[in-house]
Amino acid sequence: MNGIRLTAVLVLALACAGLPARAQWTKQKHSDPSAAGAPQGPQAAPRTMDEVIQRIVLNEGRTMKEITSHQPLVETYIQNLKEDKELGFIPAGDKYFIGRADFSRGVNLIPLTEGDGKKKFGLGGIGKFFITPFLPEGFLQMIFLDNTSFDREHYQFDFVKREFLGEIRCLVFDLTPQKRAGKGLFRGRIWVEDRDFNVVRFNGGYEGAKASDYYHFDSWRTNVQPGLWMPSFVYSEERNLQYALAKRLDFRAQTRLWGYNVGHASQEQELSRILVESSVDDQSQGANDLSPIQAQRQWDRQAEQNVADRLEHIGVLAPSGEVDKVLETVVNNLEVTNNLDIQPEIICRVLMTTTLESYTMGHTIVLSRGLIDVLPDEASLATILAHELGHVLLGHRLDSNYAFFDQLLIPDKDTFHHFYFARTPAEELDASKKAMELLKNSPYKDHLGNAGLFLAAIEKRAKEIPNLVSPHLGDRVPLIADLNTASSAETSDKSKQITALPIGGRVKIDPWDDKLSLIKSKPLGTLAEREKMPLEVTPFMPYLVRYGSAVSKQPPAQAAAAPQAAEKPAEQPPSAPGSTPAPAEKPKDPPPPSR
Ligand SMILES: [Zn+2]
């Protein structure tokens, strides 16, 4: 087993010659046939701690097998930190990586962009902060407690206590490698749900030859199917990590996994739906020939639909859901108060990624999950949507070549090269001008202070977080110059100003089917400057629930990596995007919005 687990996350640029540069992984050794993916039948409840531990080991082997039979998308975002007198630590350089996990021969990641391979991953951010390369596979490795030797020969289990994680009651154990069990073993704490005895969280690190070989991490799983807990979040952090020649590393990183079952379930559902209804989008009723303009519209919509379907299939675009509806309500508010009747109607969708970006394809507006997460309030959301609506109104069109189906049959790794929706600088400028016109007539016109601060904060921090603000498919967060000058003086009490939320504060991902929902967390009251952490990486603290429980369908109150999500300064009547905005009155006179 020696050498098997040398999955150094941090490959020292100079000293790595002797270390394997990527994760090595062998098929798990659990030879117990009952561990090999046998369905989880009703078993007698274990009566002794010995039996409990046996059950944990057995289930972990089964989980391991299940994990490696999937190819989820894996996204890692890393922020390097530097010390700041007022704020503690602030970002100074960042890294972003997205790829599809491939467990067929070890722990591998296939990048979604060819350019994002290992070579490029080493350098970036602001120059010298990233002389140390991070290895994407290293972060993926952190979803495994121990994929070769998780048993009592290798580990001592010490029961600590019972504890609730969300609504899940857990047994907590401390895990230490047995003497002479080998290197690269996990040392830390595990949480095991006390019904079926699956590991739901583990926190610690792998023991290496040197402290700098492995990072510390906190790894969480989600109950995605009955009895099945799959890795979904990993938080990692190091402070003052010495490496190479007197070099020092401080960083925080979030890894998210999703798309375990994307592309399978929806097709099956679609097929069974067709078999039942025996018609696909039946247009025979009241069918008329289309006028040329209608034909063009339909052609364009087909292109939009094609691209959306393809991106959803890859796992990059979330399936239609409740978050789309929130965005569409805000778009509707803008339309109604500006006396607009846009045909075909605007559809909003959400990109699964953490990078801050937005774009419009035809009449479909797309915002990234990461962007929605960090917006301070509904007026800021409206500002971004108004810009995109500007593109629609100005007739900036999608390449309608996408209406040809051969354009869509591309390998995963070409996704971000093939699809590209960015606009020219001139179009961006025009859309921002249009956005200002729309906002002036909208219910948000008196509440744009935070939006101005938000856009200014992105500009100000862009150098420290270049990868977070760099889009993959669309445009970066727009500049709206008028907004900045018009409203930055509005909020005078600095302690109540929230310029941007920490990363990951609003939208919750179902890692199995990619469905998104809004996190509803409690307001936190006054925050110290240090606690605001705009655009920063924070630890994950998900509220765990069982599959199918009532709570799992309705995001719980405490579930928040960043509990500021529901923070709503009292002087900001338009609600935060975390709550459902009130639709404007349907009558299409431009009304003074009632509140
Ligand atoms: Zn734009």
Question: What tens digit of pLDDT does each residue of 188-203 get?
Answer: 999 999 999 999 999 9
What would the mean pLDDT of 532-560 be, rounded to a whole number? 71
What would the mean pLDDT of 2-18 be, rounded to a whole number? 34
Distance between Cα 425 and ligand 1 center (Å): 9
- Can you tell me whether residue 512 is helix, strand or coil? coil
Which residue in 142, 511, 476 sits closest to 315, CA to CA?
A: 511
Distance between Cα 475 and ligand 1 center (Å): 6
Crossing angle of helices 449-461 and 378-393, in 10° steps, is: 80
- pLDDT of 153-164, one tens digit each? 999 999 999 999
Distance between Cα 431 and ligand 1 center (Å): 6
What would the mean pLDDT of 436-447 be, rounded to a whole number? 93
290 confidence band (pLDDT: 50, 70, 90): confident
123 confidence band (pLDDT: 50, 70, 90): very low
The CA-based dihedral angle spanning residues 516, 337, 497, 536, taken in that order and rounded to the nearest 10 degrees? 30
Distance between Cα 567 and ligand 1 center (Å): 28
Beta bridge pairs of residue 110: 100
In this prediction, residue 494 carries a pLDDT of 63
317 confidence band (pLDDT: 50, 70, 90): very high
Type of residue numbered 254 = Q
- The lowest-confidence range among 225-229, 302-306, 323-327 is 302-306
Distance CA 266, CA 517 (A): 18
131 confidence band (pLDDT: 50, 70, 90): very low
**Cis status, amide bond into 534, omega within 30 of 0:** no
What would the mean pLDDT of 266-278 be, rounded to a whole number? 54
Distance between Cα 543 and ligand 1 center (Å): 35
- pLDDT of 58-94, one tens digit each? 999 999 999 999 999 999 999 988 888 877 788 888 9
Q: Which contacts of 583-589 are long-range, i.e. CB under 8 A and separated by 24 or more positions?
A: 583/329, 583/332, 583/333, 584/332, 584/333, 584/336, 584/337, 584/443, 585/336, 586/336, 588/336, 588/339, 588/341, 589/339
In this prediction, residue 569 carries a pLDDT of 36
pLDDT at 40 over 70: no
Which residue in 323, 327, 357, 359 sits closest to 345, CA to CA?
A: 327
In this prediction, residue 258 carries a pLDDT of 96
pLDDT at 301 over 60: yes
pLDDT at 109 over 70: yes
Higher per-residue confidence, 128 vs 308: 308
Distance between Cα 483 and ligand 1 center (Å): 15
Distance between Cα 227 and ligand 1 center (Å): 44
Higher per-residue confidence, 165 vs 279: 165
pLDDT at 244 over 80: no
Distance between Cα 424 and ligand 1 center (Å): 8
Which residue in 259, 198, 252 sits closest to 509, CA to CA?
A: 259
Higher per-residue confidence, 578 vs 394: 394
pLDDT at 418 over 50: yes
Distance between Cα 359 and ligand 1 center (Å): 6
Which residue in 362, 359, 364 sits closest to 348, CA to CA?
A: 364
Distance between Cα 226 and ligand 1 center (Å): 43
What would the mean pLDDT of 503-528 be, rounded to a whole number? 83
pTM for this prediction? 0.81
Distance CA 75, CA 353 (A): 8
- The lowest-confidence range among 108-122, 287-301, 463-477 is 108-122
Distance CA 377, CA 457 (A): 14
Distance between Cα 478 and ligand 1 center (Å): 6
Count helices and strands (H / E) in the chain: 14, 15
Residue 266: partners with Cβ closer than 8 Å, 6 or more residues away: 312, 319, 513
Higher per-residue confidence, 297 vs 556: 297
242 confidence band (pLDDT: 50, 70, 90): low
Distance between Cα 248 and ligand 1 center (Å): 39
Distance between Cα 376 and ligand 1 center (Å): 20
112 confidence band (pLDDT: 50, 70, 90): confident
Neighbour-count burial of 77, counting CB atoms closer than 10 A to its CB (0-12 exposed, 13-18 middle, 19+ buried): buried
Beta bridge pairs of residue 84: 88
pLDDT at 325 over 80: yes
In this prediction, residue 83 carries a pLDDT of 82
Distance between Cα 387 and ligand 1 center (Å): 6
pLDDT at 7 over 50: no
Distance between Cα 423 and ligand 1 center (Å): 6
119 confidence band (pLDDT: 50, 70, 90): very low
Distance between Cα 539 and ligand 1 center (Å): 32
pLDDT at 16 over 60: no
- pLDDT of 443-495, one tens digit each? 999 889 889 889 988 988 899 999 999 888 888 888 877 775 444 444 456 66
What would the mean pLDDT of 349-361 be, rounded to a whole number? 94
pLDDT at 38 over 50: no
Distance between Cα 422 and ligand 1 center (Å): 7
What would the mean pLDDT of 422-444 be, rounded to a whole number? 93
Give me 292's structure tokens. 């040329």
Distance between Cα 560 and ligand 1 center (Å): 30
Type of residue numbered 146 = D
In this prediction, residue 420 carries a pLDDT of 79
Q: Which contacts of 578-581 are long-range, i.e. CB under 8 A and separated by 24 or more positions?
A: 578/506, 578/518, 578/519, 578/520, 578/521, 579/518, 579/520, 580/325, 580/326, 580/329, 581/326, 581/329, 581/330, 581/333, 581/378
581 confidence band (pLDDT: 50, 70, 90): low
Distance between Cα 382 and ligand 1 center (Å): 14
In this prediction, residue 383 carries a pLDDT of 95
Distance CA 77, CA 426 (A): 31
Mean pLDDT of the chain: 77
In this prediction, residue 193 carries a pLDDT of 96
In this prediction, what percent of the chain has a pLDDT beyond 70? 71
Distance CA 42, CA 40 (A): 7
Distance between Cα 442 and ligand 1 center (Å): 19
Place of tokens 């002794």: 48
DSSP-derived secondary structure letter, 475: B
